[in-house]
Structure formats: C-alpha cells, structure tokens
Amino acid sequence: MSWLRRKFKAVKPNVNTSGMGKVTVSVVVCIVVVFSVVGVYWSSEPDPFDVVATAKEKAAAQGYLNNSKQLVVGYTTASTLHTIVQTLLDKPGGFITNDIMPPGLLMDNMPAWEFGVLVQSRDLARAFRKEFSRSQSQSTEDVNLKIAEPQFNFDTKSWALPSSESEYRRGNKELMGYLNRLAGETSNTSKAQFYARADNLSDWLSDVSTRLGSLSQRLSASVIDESAQQAETDENNRYVRTPWSKIDDVFYEARGTSWALVHILRAVEVDFFFTLQDKNALVSLRQIIRELEATQASIWSPMILNGSGFGLLANHSLVMASYVSRANTAIIDLRRLLEQG
C-alpha cells in the first residue's frame, strides 16, 4: 500500500492557498472601496432650487404660462411640494430609506435626511387637502388631493410591490393633476381652488412649530449631564437623553426638515404675500427663512461632533438646535400676528 500512497501523493494538485487568499482580499477591498465611493456620492444633499423659476417652468411646460401671464395663487406652493417629492425620489441614489442592499443598507445619515423632508411633505400635503383647497369645513375635498395625501403617508421601508417610491410617485402624479386643474381653463365644477387665508396658514404653521419644537428638544438632549439624571428621582421630570448612536440621525433629520421648510416658506411668501403684508408679517416670515437657511451651511467635519458644554470639541447638535429653536420662536410670533395682527 505504500506504493499506492506515493502514487496519490505524486498526483496531488499543488494548490497555492496564499495566492487565493490575496485574490480574495483584493476583491473584498475593491468592493469596500466601490461601496464607500458610491455611499459618499449618495450622501450628498440636493442643491437648493428657485421655487418661482421652477413653478414657472412647470406651468410653461403645461402651456399655462406666457410672458404676460402670472402664476395663479397657490401654484408656487403646490409646485414646490411636487418638486420636493420629485427631488427626494430622483436625487443621487434615489430613495435610500428602503434599500435592502449595500451601500444604501449601510447608510443612516441620508435616510434620516429623507425622513425629515418627507415629514414636511406629508404635513403640507395634509394642509392642502384639509385647508388650502377648501373654502370652509363643510366644503368638498379636492378629488386629486384626497388621493395624493394618503400616498405620501405610505410606509418608508417597503421595497417590494408596491414599493415606497411607486406610491410616492403616484401621489406626485395626483398633485400634478391638482396643479393642472388649478392653473388650467376648466369649468367651475372641476377647477381646483387655493385659499390664501391667514387662518389656513396659521393652522399649517402650528404643525411646523410642533415638529421644530420636538427636533430642538432632541438635538439639545444630546448633551444632558448624566449625573444630573441620576440625581433626579421624579419620573415626570426626568430628562430623556438622545442615544449616542442616534445623534447624527437626529442632526440630519433636522437638516432635511430645514431644507424642505426653506423652500416651502419661500413659496408661501409668494402665494400669501398680500395676506402677510396685511398682517405686517412679512418681516417675521423672512426672519424664519434666514434662520433655517443657516442650518444648510457646509459641514467641514467628517462626522457629527458632540462636544460637551464649553469643551474643546464643537457640538453640531447644539448649533443646529439653536437655529431650529430660534426659527420655532419666530413661527410662534408669526402665528400671533396672523391671528391678531
């Protein structure tokens, strides 16, 4: 049997395990590099857009605008909502929140940004359906908006049929139908309406104020002193600290919220101009826009820093909380002017 063992030993293939290991490592490194580069590209936030110019482009494309005709009241705000949702779906990487494959699966900052934008889109779509398009509480709701608003509230994590993107696109299609009926020459029974009243604007701003107040609290809660929490015995007064792993998520959610609100408020200034002017509220609105614009400044750090108090490191969450809180305070003042001014 010894000769048989020697024979098999002679024909045994010489497998270069070290070479295969190097190839495997090289492939893994290449995949990681590719995913990292794509992830960085997909993490880039969309550029701001001119709400008036974009609205005019939409109207001109549909044949509703010429050199001598102005946009109808409400068209700029509705067009801005349509563009925001379209940007959410068509930006680099598309809608990333429901991705089930890398690199989207491994990303958290951009999905948080998307959620902030989506929340403001949902709130505005609800305001259109409930208030902006209706003359009074007993009036009939708009045929397009009653379909569009629920579509924007579809689950953000759905990747199968129907996917989140397909439902949001359907909502945007219905919103475009409302835009066409708002600007088009149609009969009184089918023409869409938009009522730029102070009470309508105040009701929507109430939702905005609630969202910003919550974000400001969550941002500020990232630096609560843990020792102070331990000394507190009253459960009703206990502070809730933002988890360390969620600090960047809250920051980017606030950044996405502010990005959407900057565009929406610019459109509101156009469509509610005379209402705001009558209430002496234009200055307050523009102050809110300036505060929110400051949240969109470039981030030069490769990560969101969370320095404590007056320590050596910056605290990006507290800076964001400052701008958001000041914008929220200005919104409260603006609502007071709309109701009493």
pLDDT at 6: 52
Instruction: Report how far residue 185's alpha carbon sits from residue 258's, in angstroms, rounded to the nearest whole number.
Output: 35
Render each residue's pLDDT in the chain as its tens digit; 341 residues: 554 445 445 545 555 566 777 778 887 888 888 877 887 888 889 999 999 999 999 998 888 776 557 889 999 999 999 999 999 999 998 999 988 888 888 888 999 999 999 999 999 999 999 999 998 766 788 999 999 999 999 998 888 889 999 999 999 999 999 999 998 766 556 889 999 999 999 999 999 999 999 999 999 887 655 554 444 545 555 556 777 777 899 999 999 999 999 999 999 999 999 999 999 999 999 999 999 999 999 888 888 888 766 667 788 899 999 999 999 999 999 999 998 86
pLDDT at 88: 95
Instruction: Report how far residue 26's alpha carbon sits from residue 18's, in angstroms, rounded to the nearest whole number.
Output: 12
Q: Are 57 and 179 in contact (CB under 8 A)?
A: no
Selection from 133, 135, 129, 144 nearest residue 178 by Cα: 144
pLDDT at 237: 54
Instruction: Report how far residue 249's alpha carbon sits from residue 304's, in angstroms, rounded to the nearest whole number.
Output: 10
Q: Rg of the chain over CA atoms, in angstroms?
A: 26
Tokens of 299: 């981030």
pLDDT at 280: 93
Q: Which helix (H) or strand (E) holds 33?
A: helix 17-42
φ, ψ of residue 328 to 5 degrees: the values are -65, -40
pLDDT at 247: 86
pLDDT at 49: 95
Q: Which long-range contacts (CB under 8 A, 24 or more apart) does 200-204 make?
A: 200/127, 200/131, 200/132, 201/268, 201/272, 201/275, 201/338, 202/335, 202/338, 202/339, 203/127, 203/131, 204/123, 204/124, 204/127, 204/131, 204/132
Residue with tokens 């200055």: 283
> What ranges do the domains of the chain cover?
49-195, 200-341
The dihedral region occupied by 74, where left means phi > 0, alpha psi between -120 and 50, and beta the remainder, is: left
Selection from 259, 260, 218 nearest residue 240 by Cα: 218
Instruction: Report how far residue 57's alpha carbon sits from residue 37's, in angstroms, rounded to the nearest whole number.
Output: 34
Instruction: Please state the pTM of the whole predicted model.
Output: 0.88
